Structure formats: structure tokens, C-alpha cells
Amino acid sequence: MPTVKIRWFGHSGFSIEDPSGKTVLVDPWFQGNPSASGGPEGITKADFLLLTHDHFDHSGDAAELARRTGALIVAIFELTGDLKSRGIPESQLLNGGSGMNVGGTVDLGGFSFTMTEARHSCSLGAPVGYVIKTPSGTAIYHSGDTGIFAGMSLIGELYPIDVALLPIGSVFTMDYRQAAKACALLRAKAVIPMHYGTFPILEPNADRFVAETKKVAPMTRVVVLRPGEEAAL
């Protein structure tokens, strides 16, 4: 299978570049992000921009990045409508501004995006995650901000996960123990930890997650990235 390039921007932000040359951004947050590897000005190309919820550390740069790149924004109905009211044209919003909702799948440009539940909070709609199937066949699960939930086993059963992107920072999301157990539920081949080290109250590094995953999900390979670093998976 051709490799997909996954770059971590810090916190929960990623770019996913398929061998076809198409790029997906998920929750890219730069302005005010102390762990960011750069600024939004460094993002000049994207085909799709996926948002998991409306908190500033996930969607704060969405409008600017949409205008900069021309990317189509994929988000839940209420968040999509809010972006429309802020001047993002319908042509850059999924389904002309209607967005999508949990359980739905849309096929766009060779990708499929399936919106999954997440256990968190937000003001607009509900927090979500995504299963992203790339044109080259790689299945990537970005959980969004979430606590662990039993339905992760169904996600792994329905959509065999090649790479999971999971928060480990605790306080606002899963901690390292829950995230390691999530790997076992998902039966993911590989995992990249996220949402840690950004602020002092979060888990400072991935060390405990790496050790715990070796114990409870030895089938899952842990790939630890530094902000700005890229992995070919």
C-alpha cells in the first residue's frame, strides 16, 4: 500500500497527504498555540479541512485557513452554519452549508469521511471524530477530543484502522491509560498520540502512554512525533 504522510502541528492538528497529492487538514490550530511548529501562513495548500468541534484550540484558525487554501470545510451541521454566518462561502462548506452529522459518510475527491461520536463538550452541535479513508486505501481515525467509550470497538470492527490519532493529555480528554485501552478496543495497527504537552496542566510527554500501550495493546505500534514532524505510514 502506498504510504500516506501524516504531519503533526502540535495539540490536535494534523495534515494528511495522500500519494495522490491531495491533502486533508484536521483541527489545525496555530495562533495562540504554544506547541505549534509554525503559523497558519505556512499552510498554503489543502483540499479538505475537517473540524471536530468548536473549541478555540480546534477551530480557531478554520476561517483563515479556508480563505487561504480554498479547502472545503467538513464539520457538523451547527458548526458549518456558524462558519457560513462568518462569511465562509457556501462553495467551501460541505453540502452548501448543511455539513453532516454523526454516523454519516461522505465521499469526496477519492476520500471518504465518516463522522463518529466523541465524548466531550462544545457549544455548537456535538463533538465528533472522523474515520478518514484515503484514495490510496489507508484508514485513519482522528478521535477528536474524547474520553474513552465502548463504541470504539465498533469503530474498529466497521472500519479497520491503520492509524489512530488519539488524545492522551487528561484533564480535558482521555489520559494515557484510557488512550492505551482505546488502542486495544480499536485494534489499530499504529497510533500517534496528540493533545498533550501544550499546556502545563496536560500530560507533559508520551512516555507513560508508550509504556502502557506496550502492555495493553502490544499489536499497536506507537509513533511519537514532535510538532512539525512527519511520519510516512
pLDDT exceeds cutoff 70 at 1: no
pLDDT of residue 41: 85
Which pLDDT band holds residue 19 (cuts at 50, 70, 90)?
A: very high
d(CA 138, CA 119): 25
Q: Which residues contact 77 (CB under 8 A, 6 or more apart)?
A: 98, 99, 100, 101, 125
- Please, is 5 exposed, middle or buried when counting C-beta atoms within 10 Å of its C-beta (0-12, 13-18, 19+)? middle
pLDDT exceeds cutoff 90 at 37: no
pLDDT of residue 40: 86
pLDDT exceeds cutoff 90 at 230: yes
> What does the domain layout of the chain look like in residue ranges?
5-225
CATH of domain 5-225: 3.60.15.10
- Regarding predicted confidence, which is higher, 38 or 60? 60
Average pLDDT over residues 62-68: 94
Pick from 178, 173, 180: nearest CA to 195: 173
Average pLDDT over residues 126-151: 98
Which pLDDT band holds residue 38 (cuts at 50, 70, 90)?
A: confident
Sign of CA dihedral 114, 75, 52, 140: positive
Average pLDDT over residues 67-94: 96
Average pLDDT, the chain: 96
Q: What does the block give as the cell for 144? A: 477528536
Rg (Cα) of the chain, in Å, rounded? 16
Which pLDDT band holds residue 233 (cuts at 50, 70, 90)?
A: very high
pLDDT exceeds cutoff 70 at 12: yes
pLDDT of residue 143: 98
d(CA 220, CA 197): 22
- Please, is 229 exposed, middle or buried when counting C-beta atoms within 10 Å of its C-beta (0-12, 13-18, 19+)? middle
Which pLDDT band holds residue 128 (cuts at 50, 70, 90)?
A: very high
Average pLDDT over residues 54-76: 95
